[in-house]
Amino acid sequence: MKKLRLATLWLDGCSGCHMSLLDMDERLLDLTGKVDIVYSPLVDVKVFPEGVDIACIEGAISSAEDEDKLRIVRERSGLLIALGDCAVTGNVPAMRNSCGMDKVMATVYLDRETFNPQIPATELPTLHDQALPLHNFVKVDLFIPGCPPSADTLFTALTALVEGRIVDLHLNTRFGA
């Protein structure tokens, strides 16, 4: 059987969901016996490939770059998973939504007693005023809430997908924890 192609991405999140993937410990090697990880912060491939079977995205969408990335992933992937609360609801990154990016930047770079105070803007991506969940932009096939979802939950879900089974994740997931 041809191995499935798995991709994982980290957008506006804390990397905790990716750490939870690593928390599968040795089961990570069991999983990679069944799938090829073709794109991930853990590997050196720098262009999102074509023909991905399962893509997991951690984090909210906070910039035009995030948005472009998300659309490419959606286009090139069979199944898109919103991995963790930031991808599912916006969560902590979205806490800035009520004040807007201008105020955030002023607080961090101007209001603190910095040397050479200025708002960095040279060749840097500008951030949207709102951090928003994935489904605001594209169709999401599976939502796995949690901050982060546990390694057991991720292993159960991914193994089932790889084996073509459907599992009920309701009992294994909850928002926040």
Partner 1 sequence: MEKRITIEPVTRIEGHAKISLFLTPSGLVHDAHFQVTQIRGFEKFVEGRPFFEMPSLTARTCGICPVSHELASAKACDQLLAVTIPHTAKNLRRLLNFGQLIQSHALSFFYLSAPDLLLGMDHPPETRNFFGIAAADPQFARDGIRLRQFGQQVIERLAGRRIHPAWVVPGGVNTSLDETARATILGEIPEIKALACNHLERFKQTLAQYEEYIQVFARFPSLFLGLSNNEGSLEYYDGPVKIIDGDGALVADPLSPNAYQDFIGEAVEPWTYLKFPYYKPQGYPGGMYRVGPLARLNLASRCGTHLADRELQHFKALEQGPVSSSFYYHYARLIELLHAVEMIEILLADPTILDKNVRAMAGVNQLEGVGMTEAPRGTLIHHYKVNGDGLIEWANLIIATGHNNLAMNKGILQAAQHYIVDGTLQEGLLNRIEAVIRAFDPCLACSTHAVGTMPLVVELLSPEGNIIDRIQR
Q: Which is nearer to partner 1, 98 or 166 (CB)?
A: 98
**CA–CA dist 146, 135 (Å, integer):** 16
Residue 173 in the binding site for partner 1 (CB under 8 A): no
Spatial CB neighbours of 68, under 8 Å, sequence gap ≥ 6: none
Q: Which is nearer to partner 1, 21 or 165 (CB)?
A: 21
**CA–CA dist 173, 150 (Å, integer):** 8
Count of residues that bind partner 1 according to CB under 8 A: 70
Spatial CB neighbours of 125, under 8 Å, sequence gap ≥ 6: 63, 64, 65
Within positions 153 to 172, which residues make up the interface with partner 1, using CB under 8 A? Answer: none
Region from 31-39, 74-82, 136-144, 153-161 binding partner 1, contact rule CB under 8 A: 31-39
**CA–CA dist 162, 23 (Å, integer):** 19
Phi, psi of 138 (to 5 degrees): -140, 170
Give the SS3 label for residue 100. coil
Residue 10 in the binding site for partner 1 (CB under 8 A): yes
- Among 34, 48, 79, 130, the residue binding partner 1 under the rule CB under 8 A is 48
- Among 4, 53, 54, 59, the residue binding partner 1 under the rule CB under 8 A is 59
What's the distance, Cα to Cα, between the start and end of the chain in Å?
Answer: 37
- Among 50, 95, 163, 167, the residue binding partner 1 under the rule CB under 8 A is 95
Region from 113-121, 136-144, 155-163, 165-173 binding partner 1, contact rule CB under 8 A: 113-121
The stretches of 35-100 forming alpha helices (DSSP H) are: 64-76, 85-89
- Among 2, 116, 164, 165, the residue binding partner 1 under the rule CB under 8 A is 116
Closest contact distance (angstroms) between CB of 79 and partner 1 is 19
Residue 53 in the binding site for partner 1 (CB under 8 A): no
